[in-house]
Amino acid sequence: MAERKRQFVTDELVEAALQLLAQRGFHAVTVDDIVAAAGVSRRTFFRYFASKEDVVVQFLAGMGTAIVEALAARPVDEPPSVALRHAAWVPVAACADHSDRALPVVRLIMQTPALRARYLERQTQWRVGLATELATRLGLDPEGDLYPTMAAGMTLTAIDAVLQRWQAGDEKDRLADLTERAMAIIAPALDAPVTPAGRRRTPPTVRIRGE
């Protein structure tokens, strides 16, 4: 019951905030405006959120969890680029399926510096979880090996680039196509040989031109 109540209040605050922000813009809306629209007190608001930025970013809060869970569900023998492409598509597909609601929020986050900063903070947290899952799949040390963190970072950067392009409003850019293109760009790096404590093939030595 407590969890259901918490989810209900969270949803009410998020919905109230998004409606007001869509009407007035980010800087014109205050916490008092949001709590009045949601019918709760300021005390209740700050029990659930630290700021109005957090209310908006909550819309994308499940993205990191969705990526990790989707990756964990992929076959263990699948190439990293394929597994990560499928995992990346899960949260992006949620935006595609609810584009009428998602697009204004994504646009607000990407175009408002304060929201963009909070979104990037969330990405840092997601990267840790994604890197840990990648390390587990590949038998790597998440702290000692570079690959899990770098692969997780590339994947999240690809998703960020997709959302950035999508929110720009070019109708010819479909989320599915953008995601395929973005993940194809980083696929060679994701599938490059990895050397975990000498157990796998060493990548070729990079030669500087002129040596």
Question: Do 175 and 103 belong together in one domain?
Answer: yes
DSSP string, 107-129: HHHHH-HHHHHHHHHHHHHHHHH
Triad 141, 155, 193: Cα angle to 5°: 50
Residue-level pLDDT at 209: 46
Instruction: Identify the residue whose tokens are 């030595």.
Output: 205
Question: Do 6 and 80 belong together in one domain?
Answer: no
14-35: average pLDDT: 87
- What pLDDT, in 10s, does the model give residues 153-210? 999 999 999 999 998 876 556 888 999 999 999 999 999 876 655 344 444 443 444 4
Q: Work out the pLDDT band at 118, boundaries 50, 70, 90.
A: confident
Phi, psi of 60 (to 5 degrees): -105, 15
Residue-level pLDDT at 204: 41
Distances (CA, A) of 144 to 8, 130, 147, 195: 42, 15, 9, 11
For residue 87, what are the domain limits?
58-190
Q: 210 — alpha (psi -120 to 50), left (phi > 0) or beta?
A: left
Question: Do 44 and 82 belong together in one domain?
Answer: no
Residue 71's nearest CA partner among 80, 61, 58 is 80
Q: How many CB atoms lie within 10 A of CB 160?
A: 16
Question: Do 39 and 122 belong together in one domain?
Answer: no
- Name the average pLDDT for the chain: 85
Residue-level pLDDT at 211: 44
Give the count of domains, the chain. 2
Residue-level pLDDT at 205: 43
Residue 5 has pLDDT above 60, yes or no: yes
Residue-level pLDDT at 103: 86
Question: Do 140 and 102 belong together in one domain?
Answer: yes
CATH number of residue 70's parent domain: 1.10.357.10
**Least confident range of 19-33, 129-143, 160-174, 181-195:** 160-174
Residue-level pLDDT at 195: 61
Question: Do 28 and 86 belong together in one domain?
Answer: no
Instruction: Identify the residue whose tokens are 């050397």.
Output: 195
DSSP 204: P
35-63: average pLDDT: 87
Q: Report if residue 72 sits inside a domain.
A: yes
DSSP string, 60-108: GTTHHHHHHHHHHTS-TTS-HHHHHHHHHHHHHHHHHHTHHHHHHHHHH
Q: Report if residue 210 sits inside a domain.
A: no
Q: 196 — alpha (psi -120 to 50), left (phi > 0) or beta?
A: beta
Question: Do 40 and 99 belong together in one domain?
Answer: no
pTM of the model: 0.79
Q: Report if residue 126 sits inside a domain.
A: yes
Q: Report if residue 205 sits inside a domain.
A: no
Question: Do 9 and 35 belong together in one domain?
Answer: yes
Q: Report if residue 202 sits inside a domain.
A: no
Residue-level pLDDT at 172: 52
Question: Do 168 and 77 belong together in one domain?
Answer: yes
Question: Do 97 and 72 belong together in one domain?
Answer: yes
CATH number of residue 34's parent domain: 1.10.10.60
Residue-level pLDDT at 132: 95
Q: Report if residue 199 sits inside a domain.
A: no
Question: Do 169 and 152 belong together in one domain?
Answer: yes
Question: Do 163 and 112 belong together in one domain?
Answer: yes
